[in-house]
Structure 1
Amino acid sequence: MLEGPDRVGKSTQVEQLAHLLRQRGRSVLVSREPGGDALGEAIRTMVLASHLDPWTEIFLFLAGRARHLDEVIEPALAHGELVLLDRYTPSTLVYQGAELGDEVVAELCSLPVFRTPELTIILDRELPLAELEASDRFESTGLAGWQVRRSRYLSFSHRFGWTTVSGEGSEEEVVLRLLDVLTAAGIIE
């Protein structure tokens, strides 16, 4: 699973990584959260376009996650596919935890219905790759809000033992770092 603040190249790197792994003969499923299936995409659209109270928002996201796991991720894993996710629990901790409290959100995310990924990678950069657009309320906080979220990702990475990978450099350099991490973790050869 690849995580990190907006505009650090997560989506690009997930696609690059999937492409390289498929070239090596691996069966790979790429998905994202929130989203990943029709219900998840509907929840994503609704939450991003609305100003819901924080409790409604987190329960919608977690309902989407439970469905995504049941309908998409678990079947792919059962068929031997490698699942690459663009966002998962760390984003919930960073975004919803900031509003509702880190401990309560961590508890909700650790309910037995949710799977813990084999590997969580935080993609980190000093600054976003592109201008933050006010396309949704999460990006509308500008660079100051982005820096706060980056700091939260790094703090959680340390707390939970996630792997942090530099997103600095070319797309090719970053994807090679990611391949090295997957190899070191024994996920690929």
Structure 2
Amino acid sequence: MDVIESVRAAVLGYFGVPSADSASVTFLGLEPIEILRIPGGEFVHYVTLGGARHPMTDPAAAVVDPERGPRAELVLTLRGSAAHTGLTRALGVLIASPAVEGVVLQPDALLDLGEPLWRNAPFTAVLLGPGDIPDLALPEPADPVRFLSVAPITATEAAWVRLRGAPALREAWAEADIDVRDPERGAANL
């Protein structure tokens, strides 16, 4: 079973495109990670390929199952078509965090890079949420691949998540009518 090719087919099928531009990111000791760039109308979608190769496991687990366990890929959607220098590397770091740091990617997870997601971006962290792409079933006994949405957030918003939780930040965004897909947006007034 080639998980990555199955993920690629599911992503391209979801967006209704035959192919996508891609960039590859490599980290010492890890298999290459690919980032697809899929323009679509007023948005551009960035989707990781590589996180679902292996199930995510708790680093404290005594036994690691090579088949069972959650699998995920990340989907970042931004308004506009401008290039964002450094974004590919940042997404590579985020999707590699399960293998490097033992993080299990799931909705409401806060991942802090401590540096801008792309050059001159005010966003230094991301908040994961449920994605729009349906889960991709894999042959038994493997768990399905989940596609998690990535919302870029500022350091202030990350502190808010730590203090009040992800639902409170999403509520603040809704009240302020903030579009997290806007790369030019400011932080929510918290």
Tell me whether the two structures share a fold, i.e. TM-score over 0.5.
no
Structure ranking higher in helix proportion: 1
Q: How high is the TM-score relative to the length of structure 1?
A: 0.27
Q: Which structure has the higher relative contact order (CA within 8 Å, separation 6+)?
A: 1
Q: How high is the TM-score relative to the length of structure 2?
A: 0.27
